[in-house]
A and B are shown apart, each in its own frame.
Chain A
Amino acid sequence: MEVEAARLIAKAIVMTSMLGTAIGEGYLLGKGFEAMGRNPEISDSLFTKMIIGVAMAESTAIYALVAFFIM
């Protein structure tokens, strides 16, 4: 196999790790909004925590992106 082809396949494999991030973020946001709808008084505090959680879940995708660019 040529080196360039192997590189492209590796890049494609790295991108599949973003699937988990999408699922995790969707679950987090859905649950967060559900809780906010039930209890609108604490929505400010919940929103900050939700954004932090989303950022944490997103880190896998960011690592994948960085690996994609340096590959």
Chain B
Amino acid sequence: MFSFLQLSRPIDGIHSDTIFYILGYKINNSTLFSVLILALLAVVCFFVIKRFRQSPGRLQILFEIIYGLVENLILQITGSKKETRIILPFIGAIFVFVLASNLLGIIPGITSITYDGKMLLRIPTADFSTTLALALASFVIIQILSVKDFGIFGYIGKYIKVKELYLGFRQGFKQGMLAMVEFFVGFLDIIGEVAKVASVSLRLFGNMYAGMVLATVMSGVLAYALPTFLVAMGLLVAVVQTIVFTALITVYYTMAVKIDTAEDL
């Protein structure tokens, strides 16, 4: 009846599409967009940093606000300035990339450019490969820093608690049995580490992909005026999910290393 108000199109698939091949490697639409975003960020950062002055201009103030926000977020979670200095470059890079890709995807029309019947630019965070790659990279970094902090035997001892088992049985039977339980819980921690990667990457992917699907479904109901609220909602989700993703990685980092709390804030 009101079909002229509706705009129906098929829901985007959960997989990203292959656009072309380079030397046998698939180049997907999300890869294309993430390379574009990285190039854009690199160029913008290069020109802004080259023109850093004592009295900042507008663009410099924006960069300083973002830096302050990320630094404050990490400082609140770790509670130590030393740890903040160590992890800030990595977390900050992830923050800027995820924020840029979430926000650029909201620009109307940018995902409507098609090539060969496929979407040319897909939001990188709406593809599971990107979020899994980010989560895996941070997982590797966190484990390396953990080994650096505890030493190789201390690190293995966190998961296979042979030392606690020995000490427990020397104290008595009851303590020994409790140490036995701890020993098996240590194996569960290994699964826990993998589950962290899965949960943090699935969360970001799920939110962004749900946003895409919701936009398609809503324009099937009413294509005019209704998407405005979706865009407003999308802006909120984009920023909140970026903060959640970086905050969770920082929390996992805090759990994996020794934090010196004696130092003042």
Contact = CB atoms under 8 A, between A and B. Distances in A.
Interface in B207-247: 207, 209-210, 213, 240, 243-244, 247
B8 interface: no
B206 A48 contact: no
**Interface SS, A side:** helix
**Interface SS, B side:** helix
B180 interface: no
B199 interface: yes
Contact of B248 (A44, A52, A66): A52
A69 B247 contact: no
Given A45-B76, A48-B77, A62-B206, A69 B213 contact: yes
A25 interface: no
Interface string A53-71: 0010011001101100110
Contacts of B77: 48, 52
Nearest to A47: B76
A59 B247 CA distance: 15
B49 interface: no
A16 to B, nearest CB: 17
Interface string B7-51: 000000010000000000000000000000000000000000000
Contacts of B244: 51-52, 55
B76 A48 contact: yes
B161 interface: no
Interface residues of A, number: 14
B202 interface: yes
Interface in B58-95: 73, 76-77
Contact of B247 (A45, A48, A63, A66): A48
Given A44-B76, A62-B202, A51 B14 contact: no
B251 A48 contact: no
Contacts of B202: 59, 62-63, 66
Contacts of A44: 76
B203 interface: yes
Contacts of B76: 44-45, 48
Contacts of A48: 73, 76-77, 247
Contacts of B240: 51
A55 B209 contact: no
Contacts of B205: 66
Nearest to B206: A62
Nearest to B250: A52
A64 B191 CA distance: 20
B73 A65 contact: no
Interface string A23-66: 00000000000000000000011001001100100110011011
10 contacts: A45-B76, A48-B73, A51-B240, A51-B247, A52-B244, A52-B251, A63-B206, A65-B206, A65-B210, A66-B206
Closest 9 A/B residue pairs (Cβ): A62-B206, A55-B244, A62-B203, A65-B206, A48-B76, A59-B199, A66-B206, A52-B247, A45-B76
